[in-house]
C-alpha cells in the first residue's frame, strides 16, 4: 500500500459515512410520509395503521443507524492510526500539511491560504511528507 492510499483511507470512510447519513435521512423521510399518509383525518378514509410496514421501516432505519455507528467507529480507529503515523514524521511542516489534508480533509487551497504558502510550496512539502510516510510504512512492513 502506498503512503497516499494509506492516508486516504479516512477520507473514503468519511465519504461512506456521509452517504449513509443521507440514506438514513431519506428512509426517515419516507417513513414520515408513510405515517402521515396512512393516518389521514379525512372522515371517509378508514384510519388504519399498517403496523407491519411501519415496524419494518423502523427496523431498517435502526439497522442503517447501527451500520453508520460501525463506520464511524472504523473511521475513528483509522484516523487514530493515521495520526500516529503522521506523528512519526520528523518535519513539522510535513506533519501539519498531512494532518490538514488527511485528518481534517481540507482542500489544497484551504491549506495554502491558511499557511500562507504558494501552491508549489504546499505540493513540494506534500511530496516530501508522502515520502516520509512511505518510509515509515516500509519500516513496518519489514516486521
**Residue 34: pLDDT over 70:** no
**Closest-CA residue to 98 (of 88, 86, 108, 109):** 86
Give the tens place of pLDDT for each residue, 72-98: 999 999 999 999 999 999 999 999 999
What average pLDDT does this structure show over 110-138? Answer: 97
In this prediction, residue 43 carries a pLDDT of 55
Separation between Cα atoms, residue 109 and residue 117, nearest integer Å: 10
- Residues 27 and 67 sit within 8 Å (Cβ to Cβ): no
**Residue 101: pLDDT over 70:** yes
In this prediction, residue 30 carries a pLDDT of 77
Mean pLDDT (the chain) is 87
**Residue 28: pLDDT over 90:** no
What average pLDDT does this structure show over 6-32? Answer: 90
Percent of the chain with pLDDT over 90: 66
Give the tens place of pLDDT for each residue, 37-65: 545 555 555 545 566 777 787 888 899 89
pTM of the model: 0.78
Q: At residue 41, what are phi and psi to the nearest 5 degrees?
A: -90, 0
Amino acid at each position: 500500500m502506498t503512503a497516499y492510499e494509506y492516508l486516504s483511507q479516512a477520507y473514503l470512510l468519511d465519504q461512506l459515512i456521509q452517504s449513509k447519513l443521507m440514506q438514513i435521512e431519506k428512509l426517515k423521510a419516507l417513513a414520515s410520509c408513510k405515517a402521515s399518509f396512512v393516518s389521514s383525518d379525512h372522515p371517509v378514509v378508514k384510519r388504519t395503521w399498517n403496523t407491519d410496514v411501519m415496524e419494518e421501516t423502523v427496523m431498517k432505519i435502526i439497522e442503517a443507524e447501527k451500520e453508520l455507528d460501525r463506520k464511524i467507529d472504523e473511521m475513528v480507529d483509522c484516523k487514530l492510526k493515521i495520526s500516529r503515523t503522521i506523528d512519526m514524521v520528523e518535519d513539522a511542516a510535513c506533519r501539519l500539511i498531512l494532518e490538514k489534508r488527511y485528518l481534517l480533509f481540507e482542500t489544497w487551497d484551504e491549506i495554502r491560504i491558511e499557511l500562507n504558502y504558494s501552491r508549489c510550496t504546499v505540493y513540494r512539502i506534500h511530496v516530501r511528507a508522502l515520502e516520509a510516510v512511505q518510509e515509515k510504512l516500509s519500516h513496518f512492513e519489514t516486521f
